[in-house]
Chain A
């Protein structure tokens, strides 16, 4: 249980103590107490200062750096000695006698390393810069005393987190309101109706009449599954007079797989879901569609929302992850993929700045999607309006910086895990067998003597720790030697393929003995996958060397400031990645190096990653850094008989206690006869191993987060990453208690029932999608800049109910759509005087009728496909490439997909950031740059043009027209009726039928015959009617 700050404890909460302490030692107070003595200068010093220095400062600096400046930039004062001694955001501006270390000099020289050139508009004249340098070299003699501030002028608005926390509605705890009394009891169907009705009655309004059944049915179909009801579904429902007719429809729709496909689209808007990175070449985001399918499955499975939040923030850390019901893979971890759906550029010249930009986007998504908070506003300064500090922002940033991106192998049906277990069992049999055999030493002795080379192990492999071989100049820095025989502290692995090898005897699947004191991804065969990550460290040398024995197609990379784009484009990051043939050591132990551009990144934080994504294997013995090439490899010396005998004796001794040693492993790895001998002796076991590996399907990866090295993050002063300030630990927002912890703790804080935001935000989103406007209209901003709830009690009641029903989104949706409120007509009650409406509630805030809504672009397309009989009802899987028109050109363009997207639902169409679907864009599908829970609702001629002339609309109209024309069973009017019902959800009146018939005849005359062309015209016309693309 976390301590929310509104849980008033008698003891002063810690955060408040912290704030008070900060206030006590604030600069303002300091200035008051720091009385300055008069400062005496020599005549010469005084003359230089007055004639040269003071005029420069007054003319070029005081505008922004004096006590009476309108705004004091960077917190720096240059109108007193005290000012530049104390310094601003970046510390003291002048170090007397040391111009090179003085930030002031860097600024006026326009060197732009840490701070930008000053004065900002124009550089000082060369002689002025020289004078300042001379002055500082003199010791910066300065007669100016501290200027006491006029207190009345300095009442700058203090950032008062507590006050904001206590004064803004959304931070207040949720209390479940009592159901209000209403007059019109008969109208009420569910609890929420009372809140709606009470508000209406208070304003002298009344609810609209109940919608016609076909109208309600079209509404509920389009809202819940994004597809229209068929004629049969309509007639069944209209005929169904049973008490639970409505419930039956709702329940069947909630059970439909289509439900998740419709509602996933809403969630993806928040997650700025896309399948490419945008920017110059629009590279593909790996495995993005796995995240999309995860969302659809989760919504269909009605995964409780608090669980969904856990999975997104910390699915990789859950002690008991949620498993796919049939395929038994870890679903939870896929949720963390959302962090990595951001845009990304290749080859940034400023990689740390690049990271800061990405984190800004990640925090923006986190804050808005889950909390309805604009946390990202606090990147440069404490939030201007909300209870969020800059330190809060960087504490969240610390969470992200302490994490790493991984390609996680879902391991469908736990095939690889099971294979590992099977193989491990067999290997164990073999290891025991070898031990037993070694009890009769002569057998082993003969085997080795017969097959082994009489040669010593090369020098590079002779040590186990604490020294780099052949390092006479002491130039190598040892990073890791894996000498403990277990995963070293701070290192982490994914996907299970890596084994830490110690001195215990370990036989590999290829019959060789594993090399003691290595990390090996080939123990269980090369079908396994595994990633190995080092702790985060600072780059200090130009080169990183690895002693490895590896096949091709391993990835070895150094991830600098979490930059992940090197695999696409090596520019500026050349030498930070080895892949493909670059890792192939051809069966030998060899040094391989990362180098090239590393010198550019000296001082940056990074970690190493070794990735084996299958059909490859690597064993890593040691890692060293240097400014020069890799250590030299010396060939092992020849062994004479005595030496050989000693080695064999040692081997036998080790084997007898089921241990190994490096000489023995070396011999087994380089002498095929030894491996063959072992294989021959344990043929059954090896055959089982082989068959276990052969059965494995190709791996299936998702993009996910994993824990890296937990580190504090620097507060970037005024948002500038070149200007790091104090460090903050990974923790949650101060307003949520601000306790340091893991991402899992963060998720727990968010979904604690005491958290006032999470449940309110999600029920409000659901409301927004069902009524077109949220109870809080600004669905992503519950802060003071957003709009307040139109019915606060209703919101809190829904949030409470949602939590009571175990955060079930389906339950919440069900309760809303079965309400009387949702069942209203789309026009006000006829008895309501217009004047009353315009005075009491002109914008229908109280929902005294059901708002008319335009369908989403995706729903328009899906509905056209369904009506035209072209909907492909396949679920899940890879996306259909975007159909690219001649208007969609530019770098990174991919081959065009089919015009109709193979009839797949819109959610299965690709989203390429640089080539967004123009039809959807026209109908307000958001650009996936950031979270957008509320689409804009434009109503523009381009939409008319799209429905009139877009090739897909024409194509589907023609398909539909052709079908109807070729259907001989109905008479003309029946055909018309069935089309209208399919497109608009209700039957035409006789008068309307007449108009349609007349139209058909006219078009038939124009075409020369009433054939499929006229029917296609009618189809096209129906698609263009407002009754089609709006829903009542």
Chain B
């Protein structure tokens, strides 16, 4: 709820912005688009943290253990695997075994490679989908597809859809936050866009700094100078509004200034980690040797703070400098070592921290890249894009920790068992938040558009 400030500006009555009908939002400008809305059915998860592994992590080097690759290492994949689809770089090398060692972890016995020592400690909290597929071999189309369910540019991102369907519990912070680790993925900001939904639903990109958002810091020297302005604005706006007999658009615009003023305070408070204990900071790795671990640790910690504040959808992007994201067309060992070192400890800490603060059950975590990588080499020491079968995992509210569903073929090339597509991931995410993906629609272009288009099956195997 808004805090009133002492002077006149804060004293205006807050318009009732809570009542909300999910009609064509273009036609109901006076209602706050982010007001919380009821889900279709009760759900455990309230918020989402989407851990976006930009570039496409190699599933056969992380979570999808394939002993056959050792057996066929160095062989011609055309002979061993058979018919291969065109690859992005058209430089198919030999079958390449994983350079990392795989072990089983926890009671669930999940196979996890030595790239993720910290995450292995919470293996039983993770539910793996090992048969995810995408439709695109190019980064941008695959990124748009992962985020929006459509390979073209300019469609609403899943965070925008969640906001449209559910609003957010906190009106003083954006409801769809992207904590930028340093890399904007190929395809750019449109991965986090609102598409044909009202622009209010677009993701707010937080930079890793004290003033993470544009225009969130007042430009006036003192608070008083700004408050004097806001007071005069309010006075004249109300006068105008009265002269028009109470105009809903004007009224909504007036109350936006109240919220905006509050946001100027809420955001810096969010970013201030001084209240966190040293132990917490250490858990996440804010003291890590590797700078990128520190960056991602801070992102994860801020994600938890956003969840605490009721922000609906949080997405984390990767820090730069790890060998062009997870996109190891060459230098697989160095690149994946760095990428994993960046995210492993912070993500494990995030899970542990959410559990001890009681937020794990109300938070859905999703870890995914836009596609996986080929089980054969590109050149000698890289892997090309592979949308035909890869691994994503989920954890948290409503998710059956320790579960695993689906499988790729013995090489990890194509999903052959319980094949899922991105639409299924979206349907499941919405389901876990209490939203029926077939019912959350927006009329555009003569159609009732959905995040899942005309597709989407809930992945029941990962539900608790």
**A-side interface residues toward B, CB under 8 Å?**
110-113, 117, 120-123, 278-280, 282, 343, 345, 347-350, 357, 361, 364, 368, 374, 376-377, 385-386, 571-572, 597, 600, 777-778, 780-781, 783, 785-786, 826-828, 852, 854, 885-892, 913-916, 918, 921-922, 924, 927-930, 932, 934-946, 948-951, 954, 992, 995-996, 999, 1002-1003, 1006-1007, 1017, 1020-1021, 1024-1027, 1030, 1032
**A827 and B260 form a contact (CB under 8 A):** no
Residue in B139, B154, B198 whose beta carbon sits within 8 Å of that of A929 in the complex: B154
Binary A-proximity of B14-48 (CB < 8 A = 1, otherwise 0): 00000000000111011011100000000000000
**A361 and B245 form a contact (CB under 8 A):** no
Kindly list chain A residues whose C-beta atoms are within 8 Å of the C-beta of B245.
827-828
Residue in B26, B87, B226 whose beta carbon sits within 8 Å of that of A936 in the complex: B26
Known: A117-B419, A777-B27, A786-B446. A280 touches B152 (CB 8 A): no
- Contact stretch, chosen from B103-111, B235-243, B352-360: B235-243
Residue in B213, B228, B233, B419 whose beta carbon sits within 8 Å of that of A120 in the complex: B419
**A122 and B254 form a contact (CB under 8 A):** no
Kindly list chain B residues whose C-beta atoms are within 8 Å of the C-beta of A597.
90
| Interface pairs (29), CB distance under 8 Å | A113-B83, A121-B419, A122-B418, A374-B445, A374-B447, A386-B446, A572-B90, A777-B27, A781-B445, A785-B446, A828-B245, A887-B205, A890-B185, A890-B188, A927-B195, A935-B26, A936-B198, A940-B256, A942-B200, A948-B218, A995-B232, A995-B235, A995-B236, A1003-B228, A1007-B225, A1017-B229, A1020-B229, A1026-B250, A1027-B237
User: B426 an interface residue at 8 Å Cβ cutoff?
Assistant: no
**A941 and B263 form a contact (CB under 8 A):** yes
Binary A-proximity of B178-205 (CB < 8 A = 1, otherwise 0): 0000001111111001111111101001
Most buried by A among B187, B218, B230, B443: B187
**A921 and B199 form a contact (CB under 8 A):** yes
Known: A572-B90, A946-B215, A1026-B241. A110 touches B414 (CB 8 A): yes
**A345 and B254 form a contact (CB under 8 A):** no
Q: How far is the CA of A918 from the CA of B204 in the complex (A)?
A: 11
Q: In the complex, how many residues of chain B place their beta carbon closer than 8 angstroms to a beta carbon of chain A?
A: 91
Instruction: Name 18 extra pairs, CB < 8 A, besides A112-B85, A927-B195.
Output: A122-B416, A343-B152, A349-B137, A349-B138, A376-B445, A780-B445, A785-B443, A891-B186, A914-B188, A924-B199, A939-B249, A941-B256, A943-B253, A950-B215, A995-B236, A1017-B225, A1026-B253, A1030-B253
**A944 and B186 form a contact (CB under 8 A):** no
Q: How far is the CA of A306 from the CA of B15 in the complex (A)?
A: 47
Those 9 A-B pairs whose CB atoms lie nearest each other, nearest first = A929-B154, A914-B188, A890-B184, A374-B446, A944-B260, A123-B416, A785-B446, A941-B259, A949-B215
User: B141 an interface residue at 8 Å Cβ cutoff?
Assistant: yes
Kindly list chain B residues whose C-beta atoms are within 8 Å of the C-beta of A826.
244, 247
Residue in B88, B229, B252 whose beta carbon sits within 8 Å of that of A572 in the complex: B88
Shortest CB-to-CB span from B296 to chain A, Å, is 17
Residue in B188, B205, B216 whose beta carbon sits within 8 Å of that of A891 in the complex: B188
Q: How far is the CA of A890 from the CA of B218 in the complex (A)?
A: 27
**B249 and A914 form a contact (CB under 8 A):** no
Shortest CB-to-CB span from A118 to chain B, Å, is 10
Shortest CB-to-CB span from A219 to chain B, Å, is 14
Kindly list chain B residues whose C-beta atoms are within 8 Å of the C-beta of A357.
151-152
Most buried by A among B186, B188, B230, B418: B188
CB under 8 Å from chain A, chain B span 280-325: none
Closest Cβ neighbor of A351 among chain B residues: B86
**B214 and A885 form a contact (CB under 8 A):** yes
**A278 and B232 form a contact (CB under 8 A):** no
Main secondary structure of the interface of A (DSSP, over half): loop
Q: How far is the CA of A382 from the CA of B152 in the complex (A)?
A: 22
Residue in B29, B232, B264 whose beta carbon sits within 8 Å of that of A939 in the complex: B29
**B188 and A892 form a contact (CB under 8 A):** yes
Q: How far is the CA of A945 from the CA of B245 in the complex (A)?
A: 26
Known: A885-B214, A946-B215. A280 touches B29 (CB 8 A): no
**A278 and B416 form a contact (CB under 8 A):** no
**A927 and B154 form a contact (CB under 8 A):** yes
Known: A122-B419, A943-B256. A954 touches B219 (CB 8 A): yes
Q: How far is the CA of A78 from the CA of B419 in the complex (A)?
A: 22
Q: How far is the CA of A928 from the CA of B155 in the complex (A)?
A: 11
User: B463 an interface residue at 8 Å Cβ cutoff?
Assistant: no
Q: How far is the CA of A204 from the CA of B368 in the complex (A)?
A: 60
**A279 and B153 form a contact (CB under 8 A):** yes
Q: How far is the CA of A886 from the CA of B230 in the complex (A)?
A: 27
**A938 and B198 form a contact (CB under 8 A):** yes
Residue in B190, B230, B260 whose beta carbon sits within 8 Å of that of A945 in the complex: B260
Kindly list chain B residues whose C-beta atoms are within 8 Å of the C-beta of A600.
86, 90
Q: How far is the CA of A278 from the CA of B446 in the complex (A)?
A: 25
User: B210 an interface residue at 8 Å Cβ cutoff?
Assistant: no
**A948 and B236 form a contact (CB under 8 A):** no
Q: How far is the CA of A946 from the CA of B260 in the complex (A)?
A: 9
**A944 and B141 form a contact (CB under 8 A):** no
CB under 8 Å from chain A, chain B span 405-448: 409, 414, 416-419, 443, 445-447
User: B367 an interface residue at 8 Å Cβ cutoff?
Assistant: no
User: B89 an interface residue at 8 Å Cβ cutoff?
Assistant: yes
Known: A948-B260, A954-B219, A1030-B253. A1006 touches B224 (CB 8 A): yes
